[in-house]
Structure 1
Amino acid sequence: MSKVKYYYDSETLSYRKIEKRKGRTFKYAFMFLLASALFGFVSFFLVSQYVKSPKERALVRELQHMQLQYELLNKKMDEAQSVLANVEERDNAIYRVYFEANPIPEEQRKAGFGGINRYKDLEGFDNSKLIIQTSRRMDVLQKQIIVQSRSLDEIAILAENKEKFLACIPAIQPVNTEDLTRMASGYGYRTDPFTKVRKFHFGMDFTAPRGTPIYAAGDGVVVRADNSASGYGNHIRIDHGYGYVSLYAHLYKYNVRANQRVKRGDLIGFVGSTGRSEAPHLHYEVFKDGDRINPINFYYGNLSPEEYGRLLEHAALENQSLD
């Protein structure tokens, strides 16, 4: 049974019974429900903003971890970029210059990233800017590494060719200095020992006892080992490739045969005095692309600076040749 409520009427100076009205009761009930719903919505909004569910907290931690990993990745790319820039600088300024290759332009190292948007699928996320920036840096770095790798492959081939080239050039004196009696005559105008006429001497004459060893001045293939060339007597010609040929004349005997491959320093024959020769000696010539050139420029392989200096002095003397 519901309680009866009264109120005091000041006009009649008596208590009067409060009569309940159905409309007012419905109104109060509606307002209560509305207030409750509003309170609940506000409470839910505030709770959802400041109080995270376990799943949400796990997602937040995962997102923070991802951001940290991207930041660490960017730092590592900074370090890699610094190292790569140093390699690129050495590649252009040292390696490619040494092997006479053109430097690789900067635009070529980083080319291939214009045109269409490569990162459209990464747009629209909370961390899209970070992800796109990192992806772009990674692509550029990968491109640079590929270009640098190909450049080093090219340098390796050039180095191998350079090594072969340096091994093939006739770069040593064909008779050991300690075996020489003297350096009799150099490249240039000399007096002919038979006619006493001044004429051009196209080689260098090394005086040494008969039977003194003669060595190949560079790697190559023996193209001749015979005495069928006028004036040279027993002689050897070695084709070194790259347009270089060396000739060793007036030999006592051979230690090689035609078509034999030799290495620099191999024993190929012995000093003699065959052909048009006045005394035992080695007449030595160097050809480049078919033209005879001064052999004095090709002894850096086995002479000290002092020995080379003395050789230059003797070779410059305009004396009588031995052939």
Structure 2
Amino acid sequence: PKGVATRKASGEVLSAIAPVLPELWGGSADLAESNNTTPTGEPSFIPEEMSTKDFSGHKYGRVLHFGIREHAMGSVMNGITLHGGTRVYGGTFLVFSDYMRPSVRLAALMKLPVTYVWTHDSIGLGEDGPTHQPVEHLAALRAIPGLDVVRPGDANETAVAWRTVLENTNRPAGLCLSRQNLPVLDRDTFASAEGAARGGYVLADTDGTPDVILVATGSELSLAVAARDVLAGEDIAVRVVSMPCREWFDEQDHDYRDNVLPPSVRARVSVEAGVAQGWREIVGDAGRIVSLEHFGASAAASVLFQEFGFTPEAVVSAARESMIAAAEGTG
């Protein structure tokens, strides 16, 4: 199957929920077509006399045109949210979250339920090259206290992520979404995407205690699944954990977290197309981290993933290394 980009899934969610959530409105910093932030058929928030063939609207329109000014977009959303009565979202590329960081930080400080739609979330965006490819951004955003950083692994997780974000009324959230198509996991085979609401959940398991646990986010989730199949062929028992939101997972009770990541299983691998910072606390001293510690390049997403080591084979190799380290009691 062709798959679905999570940015496209997000757009489908917005179009589906707009008719039943009249208080929801938002737009983009001049990247609406790329961010998929325009719900189908919704008018723009503009003076009626300024309507055009492409953008018709009026004073009750729900599509905001922020212009190429990411910090101002964030500030405007803070003001809208402080006024009360509505829920607002704004979109741009994840790499441009740098431009709006002060307003994101203030939203977190003020506990405002602002939603950021940050698309093109990794080297997977391809030919736009390293200026547009986020590398350090997920870690940097996770460092902001009170900000939920959500990176769903497929279209179903994206829908659950949107619902969960809207259910939270006391903090901002950033949805980090793929440009490229991702496999839509068969939930008859894998666990329900409802687990995404808890930040991390067992996507695929084995009988008994696993030999190794693979933890992945976003577009790398399918790599962990493929690696599991390879390892299973070697009679290695593998658990795959999807962890779209570290903040939501940390909020779960101790028993739930230990059930997902049993302390007795020290062989662990994390897989995320960004810097390793922050993942050591998940994988532990015997764990291995499949990460990107340098800037990207201009090439097709498939080429970049292959060249930079985001392949099932790389995850399999990391799993073997971690199993050896865990068995030897070394890091």
Task: State the TM-score bracket (shorter-chain normalisation).
Answer: under 0.3
TM-score (norm 2): 0.25
Question: Higher relative contact order by CA 8 Å / sep ≥ 6: 1 or 2?
Answer: 2
TM-score (norm 1): 0.25
Larger proportion of strand: 1
Greater Cα radius of gyration, structure 1 or 2:
1
